Amino acid sequence: MAPSRKTVLVILMGASIASIAVGTRAAGWLRGITAPAIAPLGDGGMWLTVRFKAQSHGRQLRDLSPEEVRALHDEVEYWRRRTNYWRSRSEEYARHLRSMRVFEKLYGGSFGPIGDLPCELIPARVVGMDSLPYGRTRMVTPGRTRGVREGARVTTFELLTNRSKAIQQRLWTINATSLVGRVIEAGAFTARLQLVIDRGFAMRGRLRRRLDPRKPRKILVSLRDAAVLQPLTDANNRPVDVNDVRGDGKEGLIVSDVPAGEQIMVGDELVTRNDDALMPMEVRVGEVVEVLENPKNPEFVTLRVRPYAQLDALREVYIVWPLSR
């Protein structure tokens, strides 16, 4: 005899309560087995959404004021001088490289191969978003079948250019990486990506201060027994490690407990730490957009960071899997 609809409803409600009691492990498993139903057809919808979002969030250009033009000109001059310096260094290194290649030809067979990137990059595509707007996660393919596991970091590759017109094909290009999140659930064919701006996202990071001749700053430097204020230069511009980086659930990240003496400013850069077991390299995360003083403890400041990646229009990503694991 088939159970009545009332019995079915009672069983289903009981199953819901049991699922809440079991927790996120059961939820991950359930999502893993049902997500492949969404993934194939979700691809087309996400393409439309990404196109729309990329259009609507395009950066608006405005005319520069004469002061801004002058400042830009000074900055260009500064970087031109720096470029000349590094060009001469580059030529010097090129000479070294040529001699090393000769050495490699002679003795290269005696040693094993050395990988320059200690990670495998698994290409993935965003095929779905959260139904509810409270979390900032995305569904990506592939999943476990291609080696994706929970905890893996996810990056996106962007092409950087300062030209207003389209770049011709077949030119060399420079690309940069930026972190977009990490995998929090991995099913057979799909995985769930938690964006860096999600409330649950947390990581350790590293701040890199940008040297700007227009904004000189002094930092506290320890010399033997005393700490003295010195202008920030190439020589003493060491990275600042931070342990508490979290997503704010809206459109950025919050970096807490940053020593005020490090003089972090708007425009400085947040990167990942190369001592992280899951991401053993430095990858850009975002730019500091606001420095907030802590009224309770003036020795520390809180930073707001805007991610480099355009997370609303995220489509192609790379899942980082360290080869050492």
Stretch that binds another protein, among 10-18, 67-75, 115-123, 281-289 (CB under 8 A): 10-18
Q: Which two tokens stand for residue 237?
A: 């511009």
Q: Closest approach of Cβ 285 to another protein, in Å?
A: 18
Residue 322 found at the interface with another protein (CB under 8 A):
no
Residue 11 found at the interface with another protein (CB under 8 A):
no
Q: Which two tokens stand for residue 243?
A: 């342990």
Minimum CB distance to another protein smaller for 44 or for 231: 44
Minimum CB distance to another protein smaller for 12 or for 226: 12
Q: For another protein, what does the binding mask look like between residues 181 and 210, x meaning CB under 8 A?
A: ---xx------x-xx--xxx----------
Minimum CB distance to another protein smaller for 119 or for 278: 278
Residue choice 78, 120, 135, 282 for contact with another protein (CB under 8 A): 135
Stretch that binds another protein, among 88-96, 171-179, 233-241, 249-257 (CB under 8 A): 249-257
Q: Closest approach of Cβ 237 to another protein, in Å?
A: 32
Site for another protein in 44-63 (CB under 8 A): 44-46, 48-49, 52-53
Residue 38 found at the interface with another protein (CB under 8 A):
yes
Q: Closest approach of Cβ 45 to another protein, in Å?
A: 3
Residue 9 found at the interface with another protein (CB under 8 A):
yes
Stretch that binds another protein, among 71-79, 84-92, 133-141, 259-267 (CB under 8 A): 133-141
- Overall size of the chain counted in residues: 325
Cα 38 from chain centre: 26
Secondary structure string (H, E, C) spanning the chain: CCCCHHHHHHHHHHHHHHHHHHCHHHHHHHHHHHHHHHHHHHHHHHHHHHHHHHHHCCCCCCCCCHHHHHHHHHHHHHHHHHHHHHHHHHHHHHHHHHHHHHHHHHHHHHCCCCCCCCEEEEEEEEEEECCCCCCCEEEEECCHHHCCCCCCEEEEEEECCCCCCCCCCCCCCCEEEEEEEEEEEECCCCEEEEECCCCCCEEEEEEECCCCCCCCCEEEEEECCEEEEEECCCCCCCCEEEEEEEECCCCCEEEEEEEHHHCCCCCCEEEECCCECCECCCCEEEEEEEEEECCCCCCEEEEEEEECCCHHHCCEEEEEEECCC
Q: Closest approach of Cβ 295 to another protein, in Å?
A: 16
Alpha-carbon dihedral sign for residues 77, 79, 83, 84: positive
Residues in a beta bridge with 154: 181, 319
Residue 289 found at the interface with another protein (CB under 8 A):
no
Stretch that binds another protein, among 40-48, 62-70, 106-114, 157-165 (CB under 8 A): 40-48
Q: Which two tokens stand for residue 91?
A: 């030529």
Residue choice 119, 122, 124, 129 for contact with another protein (CB under 8 A): 129
Stretch that binds another protein, among 23-31, 255-263, 264-272, 282-290 (CB under 8 A): 23-31
Note the residues at the interface with another protein (CB under 8 A).
Answer: 5-6, 8-9, 12-13, 15-20, 22-24, 26-28, 30-31, 34-35, 37-38, 41-42, 44-46, 48-49, 52-53, 127-137, 139, 184-185, 192, 194-195, 198-200, 249-251, 312
